[in-house]
Amino acid sequence: MEVMSTILQLKQFIYHKKEQKQTIGFVPTMGYLHEGHKSLMQKAKSECDIVILSIFVNPLQFGPNEDFEVYPRDINRDLQIAKDVNVDVVFSPSVEEMYPSEVYTKVSVSNLTSRLCGASRPGHFDGVSTVVMKLLNIVEPDKAYFGQKDAQQVAVIEQMVFDLNMNVEIVPCPIVREKDGLALSSRNVYLNDDERVQAIKLFEALDQSELWIDEKNVTIEELERHLYDHITSAPLAMIDYIEILSYPDLQPIEGNDSVSQLLAEKEIIIALAVKFGKTRLIDNRIYSNNTMNVKRQPDLGGIVYV
Ligand code: AMP
């Protein structure tokens, strides 16, 4: 496995691999790798000749009062994990390498970013789409892998690729969870013991939503109330948002139809963002008319939604 920190080095490597007609899979991350990241790398490895992992904590996507400075980092541990999964190259540039001067050009995807994390974190998705555009231009992969844990991010990146006729296939990958259901996240390390116990309420609420939809025949409003009541039964939970929108266009759904009726026509997403102390957790579940299958993946140590 090669570790590279300059764009030139990486471009030269890729130029040679493309000359040899090798396909390239790309997994962009901010590091502090866990099984969720690992599942993306494994999928890339199974579908492409060469896998490139980037580790870059992107300052552009953090707000002024967010956790850029303290975002967890452990490059040596990350390199070992990448090596274990047979990644070919880890690209780990400095902030100066990625942004050598003030950024004049940004990529901004409208509409899809006005709700959910786009509303709670102004400027966040401009930072994400700009860095992903830069990375995709540097790596020029055949396929790029993103987790459905960040479902809004997947929708935004897919839209950007579509709108700008980019030559890459975006591959959404299922959410990987802890054994008790908590979605894996680099930020989970911030949780203290009490917060960690109560954080399970997000998954429980999503899990019970299936029952509320199928058996109780709830409307969107009723479902939101059930989710709210369940999550706020954890005394430490501070709701940022609980929203049910159409997916992937992320628009509010009008009318008083039951959710199960709505599912005959469209996919919906239940999206949650909840703070426990200083830690903001997100999770979601996407429903379509052929309701999600749940299957255990013992090798990942968790539950994966497919
Ligand atoms: P991050 O390092 O948090 O920016 O995440 C890098 C990539 O890993 C993104 O595409 C995330 O959606 C994905 N990812 C993060 N956590 C998970 C998870 N629990 N399951 C699947 N993918 C994940």
- Specify the residue for token string 């908590």: 182
Cα 117 to middle of ligand 1, angstroms? 15
Angle 220-232/200-214 helices, nearest 10 degrees?
150
Q: What is the mean pLDDT of residues 265-271?
A: 95
Q: Round to whole Å and give the CA distance between 185 and 178.
A: 10
Ligand 1 in reach of 157 Cβ (< 6 A): no
What pLDDT does 65 receive?
A: 92
Ligand 1: atom nearest CA of 150 is: 12
- For the chain, the average pLDDT equals 94
Residue 277 token pair:
């102390």
Quick one: which atom of ligand 1 is closest to the CA of 31? 2
Under the banding of pLDDT at 50, 70 and 90, the label for residue 290 is low
Contact of 99 with 12, CB cutoff 8 Å:
no
Pocket test for ligand 1, best of 40, 87, 128, 145 (most atoms within 8 A of CB): 40
Cβ-contact 275, 241 below 8 angstroms: no
Amino acid identity of residue 222, one-letter, is E
Is 185's C-beta closer than 6 angstroms to any atom of ligand 1?
A: yes
User: Is-catalytic flag, 37?
Assistant: yes
| Rounded Cα gap, residues 96 and 119, in angstroms | 29
23-51: average pLDDT: 98
As a dihedral over the C-alpha atoms of residue 135, residue 56, residue 185, residue 161, rounded to 10 degrees, the angle is -10
Token pair of 197 as six digits: 């116990």
Instruction: Calculate how far, in angstroms, residue 215's C-alpha sits from the geometric centre of ligand 1.
Output: 32
d(CA 242, CA 224): 7
Ligand 1 within 6 A of CB of 37:
yes
User: pLDDT confidence of 253, banded at 50, 70, 90?
Assistant: very high
CB 117 near ligand 1, within 6 Å: no
**CA dist 292 → 185, 295, 304 (Å):** 22, 10, 11
The string of pLDDT tens digits covering residues 163-210 is 999 999 999 999 999 999 999 999 999 999 999 999 999 999 999 999
* Options 37, 124, 226, 230, the catalytic residue: 37
| Ligand 1 contacts CB of residue 29 (under 6 A) | yes
Are 58 and 131 contacting, i.e. CB atoms less than 8 angstroms apart? yes
Sort strands 89-91 and 2-4 into parallel, antiparallel or unpaired: parallel
Q: What is the pTM of this model?
A: 0.94
Torsion of CA 232, 68, 114, 292, to 10 degrees: -60
C-beta of 124 in contact with ligand 1 (< 6 A): no
CA distance 233 to 93: 43
